[in-house]
Amino acid sequence: MISFLLFIFSAFLLTFEGRLVVLILAGKSFRRCEQYFLGFAIGAFINALIFFLLTVSNIPINFPFVYLLHVVVISILLYVTYKNKLWFHFKSHSPIKIFESGGIRSAKNILMIFIALSMACKLFFSLGHALFVPSYYYDTLSQWNMRSRISYEDQKIAFDLNEDRGHSKPQYPILIHSLQIYFNQPQADWNDSRANASTLILSIFAFSAFVLILARITNPLFSLVTLGLFMMIPLVSLHLAQGYGDIHVIEYLMLGILCAIIYINSNRDYKSLIISAILISAASWVKMEGLIFGVIPFIFVYALYFFCKCKSKEIKSMISVPIVAFVLSILWPLLLITKGLPLSPHPGDFSIKWHTEAINLMSDAMFSYGSFGIFWFLVPVFIAFQIYKLIKSKSKCMRSTFVLIFGLITFVESIFIYLLTPNVQFLLNGQTFHRTMLIPLFIFILSIVLYLFKILKTENN
């Protein structure tokens, strides 16, 4: 019982800490329930930055230092909140009220119940594998939980390339590792189920925030249908069991994209873009893929959007957004350089060569193996239709266009990596290609949903 209460307290601490950041930076842009769900995701990122600070300062990563720094951060955030009287800038909004506001009739209610039951099945699967089944995924045994445990025992992040206790790839960023260590530190000893539970909570909070924010951007039905489409992808079940870190890259990217859409909707309060930049940067602290498929496309699409829409007087305030994204995401690569570690665990990543033998395998992986169900059969059709309509139409849907361009960039990056670099080996052996392709697929699905909502809303008006 004490162990459970300590776990809950640790989760509350991160949630409250992250919520204060959202409140200070963009309180008016998010409802209170959204702030709390976003709070855990941002709190987990703050935790990673604390571990980074302790690492570069050569301070032991143990319970007193970590939790003391969290208390210091919370105290500073509380002072800023109290000084600026931010508590009174908005009213409380419960998730129930948001979902009651859509006017959903009986047929739609049935659909929502069906989707909710499907989500419950996914959650049951995730809970069972994360909490009650011993870790057996290759990446968990060789990287995630193993490196976290070694770092927990040594009270410092494991960077040794020749570590004989079993972990590999010391280049990996530490958001997941730091989260697992953080939840185990107040306890008597290390526990794998507790480590998996910490990342499962991250998934639950992140997807909950996604549903709530998207429900406000569109409506409750579209939001749940979108989540249902995500969960229908066969490969997602494997990732929700917390054996791999890729799902958390996707979670941070999707939340970052939604926060950018909030700005596009209002076109006033750019502070939601700061939250977007923080979340996108957080993805790069889960895996390096977050830098390649998150930060780089974000800065590009951001620059493109504001080149078309931003007024000259807004430039000074808007330039802070890409700066935040760049600075936060570059800290870990700089640390690796100072330690003499390669940025990638795969040698020769930057050598370019056309691998024609991979084209057929790529096609099979997307359309034949079953990892994506029927999605890659349907998504290209909808994307082509969306592009055609955007070209023909004079009135552009900026929200779906923003997401579509983001998705196209990640898709092209993925194809480039697996057709033109030595990473083709991970397509040939079926190791990482499927996981990587989840990123553009998720983004494309969101883009399609936003566009369809725009069409239906226009027709109803």
In a domain, 275, yes or no: no
Domain around 154: 1-103+128-257
In a domain, 288, yes or no: no
Predicted pLDDT of residue 268:
61
Contacts of 417 (CB under 8 A, 6+ apart): 292, 423, 436
In a domain, 317, yes or no: no
8 A C-beta contact, residue 146 and residue 140: yes
Q: End of a domain among 213, 237, 257?
A: 257
Quickly count: other Cβ atoms within 10 Å of residue 154's Cβ.
14
Same domain, 215 and 351: no
8 A C-beta contact, residue 167 and residue 146: yes
Q: What is the CA radius of gyration of the chain?
A: 22
Task: Please give the structure tokens belonging to residue 294.
Answer: 């998150």
Half-sphere exposure of 331 (CA within 13 A, CB side): 24
Task: Please give the structure tokens belonging to residue 352.
Answer: 């370019």
8 A C-beta contact, residue 297 and residue 435: no
8 A C-beta contact, residue 34 and residue 92: no
Q: End of a domain among 237, 257, 277?
A: 257
Predicted pLDDT of residue 428:
85
Smallest CA-to-CA distance from 433 within 419, 451, 448 is with: 419
Predicted pLDDT of residue 93:
45
Q: End of a domain among 221, 239, 257?
A: 257
User: Residue 292 has what DSSP assignment?
Assistant: I
Same domain, 250 and 357: no
Q: How far is CA 147 from CA 63, 138, 158, 177, 271, in A?
A: 18, 13, 6, 7, 36
Same domain, 211 and 352: no
Q: Tell me whether residue 155 is exposed, middle or buried, using C-beta atoms within 10 angstroms of its C-beta: 0 to 12, 13 to 18, 19 or more.
A: middle
Same domain, 354 and 251: no
Please name the residue ranges forming H helices in 353-397.
358-367, 375-392
User: Residue 186 has what DSSP assignment?
Assistant: T
Question: Hey, what's the torsion of the CAs at 330, 335, 337, 340, to 10 degrees?
Answer: -160
In a domain, 206, yes or no: yes
Predicted pLDDT of residue 379:
94
Percent helix, strand and coil across the chain, each to the nearest 5: 75, 0, 25
Q: Tell me whether residue 90 is exposed, middle or buried, using C-beta atoms within 10 angstroms of its C-beta: 0 to 12, 13 to 18, 19 or more.
A: middle
Predicted pLDDT of residue 436:
92
Separation between Cα atoms, residue 302 and residue 319, nearest integer Å: 10
Separation between Cα atoms, residue 272 and residue 419, nearest integer Å: 36
Per-residue pLDDT of the chain (461 residues; tens, 9 = 90+): 788 899 999 999 999 999 999 999 987 889 989 999 999 999 999 999 999 999 999 999 999 999 999 999 999 999 998 887 775 444 444 444 444 444 445 556 666 666 676 667 767 667 666 666 666 676 777 778 888 999 999 999 988 877 777 666 788 999 999 999 999 999 888 988 899 899 999 999 999 999 999 999 998 888 988 998 998 888 887 788 777 889 999 999 999 999 999 988 876 667 789 999 999 999 999 999 999 999 999 999 988 887 776 655 666 667 888 999 999 999 999 999 998 888 877 666 667 778 888 888 898 889 888 788 889 999 999 999 888 888 877 656 678 888 999 999 999 999 999 998 888 888 888 778 999 999 999 999 999 999 988 887 766 65
8 A C-beta contact, residue 74 and residue 20: yes
Same domain, 181 and 68: yes
Smallest CA-to-CA distance from 206 within 14, 372, 423 is with: 14
In a domain, 116, yes or no: no
Structural domains in the chain (count) = 2
| Amino acid making up residue 214 | L
Sign of CA dihedral 156, 161, 163, 167: positive
Separation between Cα atoms, residue 439 and residue 363, nearest integer Å: 17
Separation between Cα atoms, residue 199 and residue 173, nearest integer Å: 15
Predicted pLDDT of residue 38:
96
In a domain, 309, yes or no: no
Q: Tell me whether residue 164 is exposed, middle or buried, using C-beta atoms within 10 angstroms of its C-beta: 0 to 12, 13 to 18, 19 or more.
A: exposed
3-state secondary structure of 84: coil
In a domain, 191, yes or no: yes
Place of tokens 């889960």: 286
Place of tokens 């953080």: 182
In a domain, 56, yes or no: yes
